[in-house]
Amino acid sequence: MKNWKTIVGVVIIFAVIVTILIINKKKMSATTSGGVNVAYYVTAEQVTRKNLTANFTLTGTVNALNDVNIMSETSGKVTEVFVNVGDYKKAGSVLFQIDDELKKAAFMSAEANYEKAKKDYERFQDLYKQKSASDSQLDQVKLAASMAEAQYITAKRQLEDTKIKTPISGYITSRNLDLGSMVQGSPQATLVANVVDISRVKVKLNISESDAFLLKAGDPVGVTSDVLPGVTFNGKISSISAKADEAHTYPVEIIVENQSAHQLRAGMFVRVEFKSLKNGDALVISREALIGSIKDPKVYTINNGIVNLRNITVGNESGKWIQVLGGLSEGETIVVNGQNNLVENAKVEILNK
């Protein structure tokens, strides 16, 4: 019996202690979060409008301005090679010579026939004017001259095709033929070499749909690469796709003038800084006023000395300023410094009035 009374007494004392703690906690909470007795010192600013210029950087891939696979247009054996991988060749330079003995003979025959047909046609024209040749005779000679000309053009082109040339100026990145190799013409043409023009390069990347409406073709950009520290290449936006991809981003192409001393090469990763995103008369706040991340931004607003935590929507950044797309109105006062100790409905004193 005595033990039972002792246990009951202990339980009652424990209940009284818990009740006192709960009451004290509520009082402390009322004092700290009720915004009545405790005031926190903060600095504040008003939400304002500015002409916001947003610079941001994206990563893109360098592509050659022109990247051409050179195909053989004739069949035969390679008799001479004039190129190695890494060589720079101007447009029209001969890379390979294909055996042209038969093509040259066919061309000489076609040329001789063409010259004879032209002279026959000229002679019959004179005879026709003198009424010594009929209309049908002149038509037949004219037709023969036209056919001879067609055969001459074909033979000339076939002879020229024995010299495989590069259609663009650039660097040879692959060579698939050696002396004595056999090549085929169409329809199963042989790939003989690849040449790239990197005097100018294209940088391809994707931008968000919000940025796509702020950029335009011709806007300048700066391009940098980790492998070329301290070097900035000047570029311009050449095109912005009118159609988004599945991720709702828009493909962008940028043309960059390559430098002779420092060259960007196809396949490199580069960073592109867009310098011309301008939001005229944008609603802005200081970046340091944000609580949380850019993905879930919040700020403390001040009204009659009491703070309230508010969710906002932000846009582009420009230096210390960040664009506000929603959640705040112009002229509202927000906490810039001192917000780490604040809670909802806390009382504050503004130091920078």
| Residue 260 counted as domain residue | yes
pLDDT value, residue 45? 92
User: pLDDT tens digits for 175-216?
Assistant: 999 999 999 998 899 999 999 998 889 999 998 887 787 788
Q: Is the same domain home to 139 and 190?
A: yes
User: pLDDT tens digits for 216-268?
Assistant: 888 899 999 988 888 999 999 999 998 988 878 899 999 998 877 778 888 89
| Residue 344 counted as domain residue | no
User: pLDDT tens digits for 27-63?
Assistant: 445 454 444 457 888 889 999 888 766 667 888 999 9
Q: Is the same domain home to 187 and 265?
A: no
* Pure H helices in 161-241: 209-212
Q: Is the same domain home to 260 and 141?
A: no
- Distance CA(51)–CA(108), nearest Å, equals 74
How many structural domains is the chain composed of? 2
pLDDT value, residue 159? 95
Which CATH number do you get for residue 88?
Answer: 2.40.50.100
CB contact at 8 A, 184 and 177: no
Q: Output 144 or 133, whichever has higher pLDDT.
A: 144
Assign 124 a pLDDT band (cuts: 50, 70, 90): confident
Q: Is the same domain home to 191 and 205?
A: no
Assign 271 a pLDDT band (cuts: 50, 70, 90): very high
Q: Output 110 or 321, whichever has higher pLDDT.
A: 110
| Residue 96 counted as domain residue | yes
Share of the chain above pLDDT 90, in %: 49
String of b and e for 244-256 (b: at least 16 CB within 10 Å)?
Answer: eeeeebbebbbbb
The verdict on pTM exceeding 0.75 is no
Q: Is the same domain home to 167 and 202?
A: no
Q: Which residue range(s) make up the domain with 202?
A: 58-64+198-276
Token pair for 147: 């056919």
